[in-house]
A and B are shown apart, each in its own frame.
Chain A
Amino acid sequence: MVPISYNLRNLKVRKTTSAAAAFGLALVVFVFASVLMLANGVKKTMGRSARSDVALVLRKGATAEIESVIEDSSINMVINDTALPQPASGPRGVSESVVVILLDKVGADGMSNAQVRGIKPEAFTFRPSVKIVEGRMVQAGSDEAVIGRAIAGRFKGLSLGESFELKKNRMIKVVGIFADDGSSTESEVWADFDTVRTSFKREGYTSSVRVRVAPAQFETYKASIESNRQLNLQVFKEADYFEKQSEGTSMFISAMGIMIAVFFSIGAMLGAMITMHAAVANRQREIGTLRALGFSKGSIMLSFLLESIILSLIGGSIGAIASLGMSMVSFSMVNFASWSEIVFRFEADAGVIVGSMIFATVMGLVGGFLPAIRAARINPIEAMRA
């Protein structure tokens, strides 16, 4: 086999061409990795909102909390189902009223939907991961709200100390900002339960009920609620619900990303091919000499393929490392399932990095294939005479 240091040195000698080809590959991998990170971020953000021991109860047929309507008279039966044991601490269940409001965006034209959750004080004890990080808690029965960390500052009126209109002459003041380990809950506005219900004329109804159910008891509980035809309700595992919520958006992003990646990679592969063709053409004599020294056709081909892969791996690493910088950026868009704005982060994990490097390797392999064959076919005698 031809030593790899031969290829490395060659890439160094032709540094402008190598750099241009590697930079093109780096851009492609950067875009590819960023899209993967975004799709990953959507899934992770929604996934973090789910707790394994919580069941979400919605109106039958509703796919999102805002679509669901549950009469107050049903809530007691849902929370105090006889099959459920009393939890060790905290409330057994919470009922909440979820609406969306249109607000002007900050830093972009147009408006978007913010999700507003009408909560009772026990919402915080029910979700121990939610913590006030700035300001204070909402006072029960007041026209106050706390907002998630991710959504703060993204809409007009959604900043600490500012107010937004829930209804004419009903200004809701933002008194605190909460965090929830980076989940999609951080894109919500939490206001008092009765304030939301009266402003939206929803007295007597809530949107959803969350109940603490141990995973082992989930099926029994689900059967018990769903078999009651009068209730006409549906029970989800919170994890399944959120996975479904993220499905459409993450699929959309992935599909768009794949389409872009296909086109970009064709361009980058051709770039690599041009570089490798030139490398082969300029080194006819060297190749002839190598063959005369006894290196086989196969080892010449392998050597050029390796050179192409090294080139693409250099480009790929630069692109992948640069894409890690995107972790600093958050991305806010409407989640198609709930039609409300959710803030995502570009999130890298091992899968994204490995995926991008494999992508780079494949580009190098495909781009280098034809030139490598050409190199292997060179006739040593003619090449040395040239």
Chain B
Amino acid sequence: MMNFIRISARNLLRNKMRTVLTILGASVAIIAFVMLRTVLSAWSTAADYAAKDRIATRHKVSFVITMPKNYVDQIRAVPGVKSSTYAIWFGGKNPKKPEQFFATMAFDAPSMLDVFDELLLPLDQKQAFLADKQGAIVGDVLARQLGLKVGDRFTLQGSIYPGDWPLNITGIYSANRKSVDRSSLFFHYSYVNDSLPPDRQDQVGWVASRIDDPGRGPAISTAIDQIFDSKDVQTTTMSERAMNLSFMGMISSLLKALDIISIIILFIMMMILGNTIAMGVRERTREYGVLRAIGFPPSSIAWFVVGEAAVTGFVSGAVGLLLSIPIVELGLGRWLEENMGAWFPYFRIDVQTYVMGMGLAVVLALAASVIPARNAFRLQVTDALRRLA
């Protein structure tokens, strides 16, 4: 068996140009595959790495409708809830670059830093943020994009809450959890609330709460929703993970399309590999005839073909994966994290993707060799010797 593989590998060196092209083609397919799978897994990262001890409460029917602020106090009183914070989606833009999207949220600042403890902020910046009503903290990725540093003034243009909102950048946060979007801007709820006309005041978009026991999440969620069931505005409470997952429904067809495309790319790879193997078999028909004539059984001939395919597949997989690390992780991944952090907070290749890429490269190469191997197996000695390459 070892011998077969060695001979097969030798055979590959006979037509170096073709082997190189084949491996290049197949490894490009592997790179594309790795990239697509990483897009898919990056999207679900937010759900996978969501805090397990956090639940979120929102309006039952629509995220554009707000809830009365006094709901927060009632949620805090529910047994099992450690602390709660509340926020509104501000929907602000940078007036100088209105087409750029980044999340802007107005939070109840003191409780927010407590509930979202994965936001890393130096102590002095934290204190400065809490002390300044017009203070704001931005993620390090966004800060770089906007060219902001601590102490800068930044004006946010509101759409849901119209007007210009001058802010002081009091802090720049980073994160110790992969799901955190480091391109958001947070500022004080009270700043927005106090500027609103009385009939729009004291409304919150959602409430996030820490609970003491992740296992009791569903029970606590039900308890919260029950409080408001008979009220004017009903709520839906679910774990952070469930909420993140439910939003995946919005792009589910896109995810399905990428899934299909990543399968098509594998077919293209199989075509390239199969084509090369078939060519090799056709060219070596005479040799195979000679081998058969001196006593090798048909199965040996077939094994040569299969072995050659396996080696090609393995090398293609290895080259593809090696190349995909700089391309996906350093090039594209960095770019996506910097520019589209809201969608891809963490764009890295999964271990599963590596294993899958390598496995598929070999398996598909073997699959592509089935027909050529069968043809080689069925070769008649006399035909093979007679035939010209």
Contacts and interface: CB of A to CB of B under 8 A. Distances in A.
Given A31-B264, A110-B245, A264-B268, A334 B250 contact: yes
Interface string B227-253: 001000010000000000111111111
Contacts of B36: 260
Interface in B147-202: 157-160, 162-163
A111 B32 contact: no
A109 B251 CA distance: 10
B42 to A, nearest CB: 13
A381 interface: no
Contact of B251 (A27, A66, A333): A333
B49 interface: no
Contact of A61 (B158, B246, B269, B272): B158
B157 A331 contact: no
Contact of A274 (B159, B267, B269, B276): B276
A20 B267 CA distance: 11
A185 interface: no
A62 B25 contact: no
A270 B162 contact: no
B31 to A, nearest CB: 7
Contact of A200 (B60, B65, B275): B65
Contacts of A23: 271
B61 A110 contact: no
B318 to A, nearest CB: 17
Interface in B247-303: 247-254, 256-257, 261, 264-265, 267-269, 271-272, 274-276, 278-279, 283
A99 interface: yes
B275 A275 contact: yes
A263 B31 contact: yes
Contacts of B267: 27
Chain A: interface size category: 35 or more
A92 B195 CA distance: 36
Nearest to B58: A102
A336 B25 CA distance: 35
Contacts of A275: 275
Interface in A228-283: 232, 259-260, 263-264, 266-268, 270-271, 273-275, 277-278, 282
B91 A67 contact: yes
Contact of A109 (B26, B234, B245, B271): B245
A168 B247 CA distance: 22
B101 to A, nearest CB: 8
Interface of B: 17-18, 21-22, 24-26, 28-29, 31-32, 35-36, 60-65, 91, 101, 157-160, 162-163, 229, 234, 245-254, 256-257, 261, 264-265, 267-269, 271-272, 274-276, 278-279, 283, 389
